[in-house]
Amino acid sequence: MPFSPEDFAKQKIAAIQDYSILSWQAISDIFSRPRYWADIFTQMDSIGVGSTPIVVLTGFFTGCVLALQSATSLKAFGAVSMTGNLVALSMVKELGPVLTGLMVSGRNASGMASEIGSMKVTEQIDAMRALGTDPVRKLITPRLYATIFMLFFLTILSDAVGIAGGALVSVALLGLNPSSYFSNSYRALEYADIVQGLTKPIFSAFIIATVGCYFGMSTKGGTQGVGRSTTQAVVVSSVFIIIVDFLVSRAMIGVFGR
């Protein structure tokens, strides 16, 4: 079948429309009954606690590498003591939120797409509708709010262990004074930096949950379709996280000037 730009554009516009409707319904469902609190808490445990090891490892070794590379560059200017400033600013404003979002996306966006996609192709979602249960309220809303709530705290954890990893390298390998490192790290951060670093996880979590659930709900073609949906969910959510990170950073710099 020949490629048709018109059909391609129609498909993409329809996909954006379906995604927007699904996202809006998932957001609005939390403000009306019934609310599936048990499902929300279950998803919090799966998304938050289950993602903690990979977030901790990623944040810790990112802080270690950042301190090592920063010290090498700062040494040329005789400013190795400023390593703590650079590590703290980089982790809190940029690397912590983005890497945490990407790690959680790889683990949970794929999980949401495969789980819901499997339910879709085995007609379990149609059965839920037949029994009078709204699948968006039951399946997507708990995942959305659990992801937003837990990614916020996972980002804080990633920032903390990243700064700790930088401290370990700075003290053990670079010979810096630990009190000086943490003092410089603390003084380097301002209110604007904290706000910027903790705003990004909200957008990233929204992208992870809605994109993963959307591809799950739109799965077609049996088990092969589940595989395609899983791959697409990870790729699309990761790309969106990076794009939105740039937009939020630009907006925050425009508001706070840093």
Q: What is the pLDDT of residue 2?
A: 65
State the Cα–Cα distance between residues 4 and 112, nearest whole angstrom: 32
The confidence band for 36, taking pLDDT boundaries of 50, 70 and 90, is confident
Task: Check whether 54 has a pLDDT greater than 80.
Answer: yes
| Mean pLDDT for the stretch of residues 93-111 | 91
Q: What is the pLDDT of residue 78?
A: 77
| Region for 35 from its dihedrals, namely left if φ exceeds 0, alpha if ψ lies in -120 to 50, beta otherwise | beta
Range of the domain at 198: 34-212+223-256
Does some domain include residue 189?
A: yes
Lowest pLDDT segment from 3-7, 135-139, 193-197, 241-245:
3-7
Q: What percent of the chain has pLDDT over 70?
A: 99
157-180 per-position pLDDT tens digit: 999 999 999 999 888 888 888 888
Q: What is the pLDDT of residue 61?
A: 93
Higher pLDDT, 81 or 27: 27
Q: What is the pLDDT of residue 37?
A: 87
| Residue 199 tokens, joined | 């705003």
State the chain's mean pLDDT as an integer. Answer: 88
| Mean pLDDT for the stretch of residues 140-154 | 92
Q: What is the pLDDT of residue 3?
A: 63
Query: For residues 58 and 137, is the Cβ–Cβ distance under 8 A?
Result: no
Task: Check whether 59 has a pLDDT greater than 90.
Answer: yes
The confidence band for 204, taking pLDDT boundaries of 50, 70 and 90, is very high
Does some domain include residue 13?
A: no
Query: For residues 114 and 224, is the Cβ–Cβ distance under 8 A?
Result: no
Does some domain include residue 3?
A: no
Higher pLDDT, 170 or 1: 170
Tally of domains in the chain:
1
